[in-house]
Amino acid sequence: MRRIALAGKPNAGKSTFFSAATMSDVEMANYPFTTIDPNRGVAHARTRCPCTDRDADCGICREGARYVPVELVDIAGLVPGAHTGRGLGNQFLDALTTAEAIVTVIDAAGATTAEGEPVAVGTTDPLEEVRFIEEELEAWMAQIIADNWTSVRRGARAPGFDLDASLAEVLSGLGITDHVITAVLREAEYPAQVDAWGDGEFTMLAQAVRQRAKPIVICANKVDLAPSANIADLQAETDAVLTAAIAERTLRRGVEAGVVEYRPGDDEFQITGEVDAQQRAGLDAIADLLAQHGSTGVQETIDRAVYGRLDLITAYPVQNETRWTDASGQMLPDALLLPAGSTPRDLAYAVHSDIGEGYLYAIDARSQRRIGEATALEEGAVIKIVSTAD
Ligand SMILES: Nc1nc2c(ncn2[C@@H]2O[C@H](COP(=O)(O)OP(=O)(O)OP(=O)(O)O)[C@@H](O)[C@H]2O)c(=O)[nH]1
Ligand SMILES: [Mg+2]
């Protein structure tokens, strides 16, 4: 499963976002360092289900909204200097190593200090948080490179030394591939002699690697409390998703309790059950928020990470290319996330390595035609794979 991590200063609302997105109970509170050990759960990216293109209901999507699972990780808050061990230290940065994308949760209300202490709304600048999280991530990566430089230099004395491979080894623990390192080294000029590298180069390399390998979505949370000047600044300077994690949590709880009809990511909801006056007032405030901002932002944040930053597509393998079903008759049983540009064979491997190895050909179930091996699958592709492993 694709993995996305939530990062941000203490008390920004990471765990509230996590709880809303995964519907799991975790500790949330208005003081810093509520979360210590990472929380892991399953969230979903939302896309249009292919069954909407036919007069059929697959029985899995919610009125055409298909929710595709991704893993979400919620970590302890980061404070400036976290890479040097400040706050709860850099062990929590390590929880980010296996994430493919990072959601930076910031406090759009400006009502918490950099250390996460509550202060009056509008006191702190949310834009500062955007910069500091990037800087911490990059400083942490630069530190890892610096710490390993002695061994890189030692390796450089041996015949057949390969800088790309050596750096890939240094950064492999962060889930950085050789491919990323090669691309990054080609982008800018680095000294040919490893002895000539210093902090400047480590930082430059870390920034380039971070941008490519750990793309960030900015989630401007607590938008329900945010002064309009903060929102205007965020919109002018960033492409942050305006979010009220707490509102999403309330709506999903309402759905669970059977009193609200709402699909995550929708711009509206209905009250369908008994609610008391206080609950109604809360829901009315959320309705105003949706009218103003279009959604709570939680779903949009995940969608942007998955379909935007990670540039993934959803493909649907089926066994019956006319009915779009599996052997048991379930329509569109699986939705798989693949990198854009993936081919039918890549899809076959994603289904199972045996199916990939035995790949013969594929049929586009929309046109019922065989498609070439090099065809790049598109979002919503419905594909029958023919394999010797069937
Ligand atoms: N008004 C408002 N409050 C929110 C929102 N999201 C979270 N909060 C509040 O912010 C406080 C901190 O929330 P948490 O989710 O515990 O924050 P965190 O970032 O996980 O904090 P640490 O684990 O300490 O790093 C809690 O009091 C939440 O109720 C929101 O969208 N709007
Ligand atoms: Mg937390």
Q: How far does the centroid of ligand 2 lie from the alpha carbon of residue 18, in Å?
A: 9
Determine contact, residues 208/182, Cβ cutoff 8 Å: no
Q: Is the CB of 387 under 6 A from ligand 1?
A: no
Ligand showing the shortest atom-to-Cα distance for residue 9 = 1
Q: Are 240 and 276 in contact (CB under 8 A)?
A: no
CA of 230 to the centre of ligand 1 (A): 18
pLDDT digits (tens, 9 = 90+) for 145-173: 999 999 999 999 999 999 999 999 998 88
Ligand nearest to the CA of 14: 1
Q: Is the CB of 286 under 6 A from ligand 1?
A: no
Residue 89 has a pLDDT of 64
| Residue to probe by mutation, ligand 1, list 9, 11, 103, 230, most atoms within 8 Å of CB | 11
Interval between CA 11 and ligand 1 midpoint (Å): 5
Residue-wise burial string across 115-128, b where 16 or more C-beta atoms lie within 10 A, e elsewhere: ebeeeebeebebbe
Q: Is the beta carbon of 244 within 6 A of some atom in ligand 1? A: yes
Q: What's the gap in Å between 301 CA and the centre of ligand 1?
A: 16
- Write a three-state SS string for the chain: CCEEEEECCCCCCHHHHHHHHHCCCCCCCCCCCCCCCCEEEEEEEEEECHHHHCCCCCCCCECCEEEEEEEEEECCCCCCCHHHCCCCCCCCHHHHCCCCEEEEEEECCCCECCCCCECCCCCCCHHHHHHHHHHHHHHHHHHHHHHCHHHHHHHHCCCCCCHHHHHHHHHHHHCCCHHHHHHHHHHCCCCCCHHHCCHHHHHHHHHHHHHHHCCEEEEEECCCCCCHHHHHHHHHHCCCEECCHHHHHHHHHHHHCCCEECCCCCCCCEECCCCCHHHHHHHHHHHHHHHHHCCCCHHHHHHHHHHHHCCEEEEEEECECCCCECCCCCECCCCEEEECCCCHHHHHHHHCHHHHHCEEEEEECCCCEEECCCCCCCCCEEEEEEECCC
Closest ligand to the CA of 29: 1
- Name the residue with the closest Cα to ligand 1, atom 21: 11
30 Cβ below 6 A of ligand 1: yes
Low-confidence stretches of the chain (pLDDT < 70) are 89-92
pLDDT of residue 85: 78
Supply the pLDDT for residue 390: 74
Q: Measured from the CB, is residue 250 less than 6 Å from ligand 1?
A: no
Question: pTM score > 0.75 for this model?
Answer: yes
Q: Quick one: pLDDT at residue 264?
A: 97
Q: Is residue 11 within 6 Å of ligand 1 at its C-beta?
A: yes
How many whole angstroms from 29 Cα to the centroid of ligand 1?
6
Distance CA 390, CA 387 (A): 6
Q: Indicate the top mutation candidate among 6, 15, 121, 241 to test ligand 1's pocket, ranked by most ligand atoms within 8 A of CB.
A: 15
